[in-house]
Chain A
């Protein structure tokens, strides 16, 4: 008897996923399907950039200044090797976009995870403990919220550049960037998680755990955390798009990743200088790639928010 029930539930795991409401609403939304395909394409090409990209733009040996500023393949005077043309140093734009998207996504992901861990922990503590600690954390959040996120990222980036010795900049630039973007985004998570925690901690299942004698840390981890994660995932998806944009902005302003390993934002900045001299492809194609990436992730996040909201079903 027990064996058959276990089998049943295991067998139905995939079937349950295919049968779930989320999958159903996904299938019925063409916009979401397109965004999902785009997002997956970006991710796959970012992860397997070394194999997919026709050139390696970071390999100084393989680029030649002779190929500089070639137009896209369909225009006059182009080289069929470079499908979207080359930039001022002779790097293939198409390959640079793929590698640049990889850096953008890596920085975006890492800073979202950093924000999430920080925000969720502070939100859980704030909501569960309450009292003065709650008031303190939430006032700090309010203060931070009164500054634009990009300003905070710029500030932290600037401070880090001033404090760290020059020779370490190159090595630490990614960590500084991730820290700067991450710290500017934790407030959203903390507020959402705190709100949900306030609701969940008064539910009877939490009281039941307390009656058993379980301590606050295990209650937070095992009982409350899984129940406040739904909205957090939605925020995280949308935040990923914001983080990618923030990174692009910082790089565009010249305080992000260095031009030797360009992200999408760096590419747009480099191309910006040549926009009026006629080499529009250097900035336009990375720009389109950035818009597509951010839009796709954003639409996916919007759909997830609606799909998880029982009122909108």
Chain B
């Protein structure tokens, strides 16, 4: 960002400050921001939720959500000021000089119009072309973004395209009027891993060939490392570090960048804990002096020593009815889990991995008793749970197994205080003699998960996603369980928060000697956490192997396919971060 470059830059942002006025004072979303984008360059903007990355994109294109407002700074596009234009002037720039690619291809196309209509309209709005010329251009664009048979498919509706193909159409739409700059806001977050790689390659090629500058906004370090030329790291509305991708990935200078990079689960190597994740806020470490082994929580939870498997599934089958009918022959069923058998030994972390819809969560819900299996047996500590008739008979087993859910925003009752949420299972299973003991246990649990007793009187909405997941963990521990089911516990969290929560789970697992079933679609996370892994597809368990064996020597073709799609981190060498 030297003075002589500045005039030639495609986009120059200087001293930008965006505020969202509210009646509780102004929220500053972005401040003191300087960025430049050169033609043909991809600038990656990376940061976690709330860092202000999307606000930059919206400010550049003039689409800040009211009452948001850019209060300071200038935005220059090839030397023209484009901030504080009136609506008509803004519309001339939008689409014509700046294109935009949104996150979700399923909602960014009009489902009632053909692709042709949407493309041709956009082209004619910005370029002075006749209908036929515009259509030819549209076909040409679709061809460029890699849609086969463009002259046929252009007449189709969005629902006839797959997610990846739709995102290609969205890219074609963004390129309609030959923009100089494209803003891509999380363009691949909603896509599968395999499609993601293709879309990123396409965007890279288009930028290079057409000399289009691009701002790539994402939370995903993997996407950045594979695509961007330069990176700006954002933290709480400020850019803390900019540099070439190579530089940021291999020699990050700022502490935040370091902790962000080290928080990404490594696909290639198992680490004991995630290092250096202490820079992030709300990372209170557990107070010293609380020794779990001697505490109530660590006290003998098992009535007897175990010899065999703790949890065992034999031909577990789950069938959901998808069409009701009076006549059995007309009913339709979906077999979510097909004759799955596996066993979990005491003290181990068993992982289940698979794509969405593979039946992982259904298995978790069968084990914890939310669903009643339609076939097979599930036994816990040698007792067949499926044979237990009443809820009362199952209660002692329910107490010993608890679950941590995926969505931290819906897994806590919004109308209950944290203390009531955590005390509920204690009271229900009559695990405390009186209210004051229950209160003490609840306070200790909050300490154990790193929140502190002052969290007790608050309501869930006063906490961030990561903190809520800690409350969830505290609630799960409140019954002193032996077996913990974690259903995608971190997939809704930012990477650094994910690293903290995974660290916490690992610590608790070893200190309390918990047995865990850990469900995830994320292979690197599985590698960091699990001892043994089962791979699932379409309700079937394809392969079970110790984690390291699975990653180094996969047997099933599908496992090999999954491992191949796993993002690689090129140039990811940080000796100082290794432990």
Chain A, 193-237, CB within 8 A of any chain B CB:
203-205, 207-215, 223, 226-227
Instruction: Report the Cα distance A204→B407, complex, angstroms.
Output: 7
Contacts of A207 in B (CB 8 A): 365, 370, 403, 405, 411
A2 touches B415 (CB 8 A): no
Instruction: Report the Cα distance A244→B368, complex, angstroms.
Output: 50
Chain B, 4-59, CB within 8 A of any chain A CB:
23
Whether A211 touches B402, Cβ cut-off 8 Å, given contacts A204-B407, A227-B413, is yes
Residue on B nearest A212 in the bound complex, by CB: B425
Residue on A nearest B452 in the bound complex, by CB: A1
Shortest CB distance A134–B (Å): 12
Whether A211 touches B398, Cβ cut-off 8 Å, given contacts A205-B410, A205-B412, A227-B413, is yes
Residue on A nearest B458 in the bound complex, by CB: A9
B23 touches A208 (CB 8 A): no
Whether A204 touches B23, Cβ cut-off 8 Å, given contacts A6-B457, A212-B398, is no
Shortest CB distance A196–B (Å): 13
A211 touches B428 (CB 8 A): no
Whether A213 touches B411, Cβ cut-off 8 Å, given contacts A5-B457, A6-B457, A207-B405, is no
Shortest CB distance A23–B (Å): 11
Shortest CB distance A1–B (Å): 7
Whether A212 touches B424, Cβ cut-off 8 Å, given contacts A204-B405, A226-B415, A227-B414, is yes
A203 touches B415 (CB 8 A): no
- With contacts defined as CB atoms under 8 Å apart, how many contacts are there between chain A and chain B in the complex? 71
Instruction: Report the Cα distance A212→B370, complex, angstroms.
Output: 10
Q: Does A175 contact B (CB under 8 A)?
A: no
Contacts of A205 in B (CB 8 A): 410-413
Contacts of B454 in A (CB 8 A): 1-2, 5
Q: Does A24 contact B (CB under 8 A)?
A: yes
A208 touches B411 (CB 8 A): yes
Shortest CB distance A214–B (Å): 6
Q: Does B369 contact A (CB under 8 A)?
A: yes
Contacts of B547 in A (CB 8 A): none
Shortest CB distance B365–A (Å): 7
Instruction: Report the Cα distance A6→B458, complex, angstroms.
Output: 10
Contacts of B365 in A (CB 8 A): 207
B428 touches A204 (CB 8 A): no
Contacts of B416 in A (CB 8 A): 223, 226
Shortest CB distance A312–B (Å): 14
Shortest CB distance A160–B (Å): 39
B23 touches A227 (CB 8 A): no
Q: Does B443 contact A (CB under 8 A)?
A: yes
Which one of A1, A9, A210, A212 lies within 8 Å of B479 (CB-CB)? A212
A204 touches B457 (CB 8 A): no
Whether A215 touches B413, Cβ cut-off 8 Å, given contacts A2-B453, A6-B457, A204-B405, is no
B398 touches A223 (CB 8 A): no
Instruction: Report the Cα distance A208→B457, complex, angstroms.
Output: 20
B405 touches A223 (CB 8 A): no
Instruction: Report the Cα distance A205→B413, complex, angstroms.
Output: 6
Q: Does B323 contact A (CB under 8 A)?
A: no
Shortest CB distance B487–A (Å): 9
Which one of A9, A203, A215, A226 lies within 8 Å of B457 (CB-CB)? A9
Q: Does B317 contact A (CB under 8 A)?
A: no
Shortest CB distance A215–B (Å): 6
Whether A213 touches B399, Cβ cut-off 8 Å, given contacts A204-B406, A204-B407, A208-B475, is yes
Residue on A nearest B413 in the bound complex, by CB: A205
Whether A215 touches B403, Cβ cut-off 8 Å, given contacts A205-B412, A207-B370, A226-B415, is no
Shortest CB distance A292–B (Å): 32
Instruction: Report the Cα distance A205→B414, complex, angstroms.
Output: 9
1/0 per residue, CB under 8 A from B, across A1-45: the answer is 110011001000000000000001000000000000000000000
Shortest CB distance B319–A (Å): 17
1/0 per residue, CB under 8 A from A, across B392-423: the answer is 00110011011101110011111110000000
B428 touches A210 (CB 8 A): no
B414 touches A204 (CB 8 A): no
Q: Does B253 contact A (CB under 8 A)?
A: no
Whether A213 touches B429, Cβ cut-off 8 Å, given contacts A203-B410, A208-B405, is yes
Residue on B nearest A203 in the bound complex, by CB: B410
Contacts of A6 in B (CB 8 A): 457
Instruction: Report the Cα distance A209→B395, complex, angstroms.
Output: 12
Chain A, 45-90, CB within 8 A of any chain B CB:
none
Instruction: Report the Cα distance A227→B410, complex, angstroms.
Output: 12
Contacts of A2 in B (CB 8 A): 443, 453-454
A214 touches B428 (CB 8 A): yes
Contacts of A213 in B (CB 8 A): 391, 394-395, 398-399, 428-429
B391 touches A215 (CB 8 A): yes
B370 touches A210 (CB 8 A): yes
B405 touches A5 (CB 8 A): no
A1 touches B424 (CB 8 A): no
Instruction: Report the Cα distance A212→B427, complex, angstroms.
Output: 11
Which one of A5, A24, A203, A210 lies within 8 Å of B453 (CB-CB)? A5
Whether A24 touches B406, Cβ cut-off 8 Å, given contacts A211-B398, A213-B399, A223-B413, is no
Shortest CB distance A114–B (Å): 25
Instruction: Report the Cα distance A203→B414, complex, angstroms.
Output: 11
Instruction: Report the Cα distance A208→B402, complex, angstroms.
Output: 8
Taking Cβ atoms with an 8 Å cutoff, the residues of A that contact B are 1-2, 5-6, 9, 24, 203-205, 207-215, 223, 226-227
Query: What are 30 A-B pairs at a CB distance below 8 A?
Result: A1-B453, A1-B454, A2-B454, A5-B457, A6-B457, A24-B23, A204-B410, A205-B412, A207-B365, A207-B370, A207-B403, A207-B411, A208-B411, A208-B412, A208-B472, A209-B413, A209-B424, A210-B369, A210-B370, A211-B402, A211-B403, A213-B394, A213-B428, A214-B428, A215-B391, A223-B413, A223-B416, A226-B413, A226-B415, A227-B415
Q: Across chains A and B, which 6 residue pairs bring their CB atoms closest together, nearest first?
A: A204-B411, A213-B398, A226-B415, A204-B405, A203-B410, A5-B454
Given contacts A207-B405, A213-B399, A227-B415, 5 further A-B contacts (CB under 8 A): A208-B403, A208-B411, A210-B370, A211-B403, A226-B413
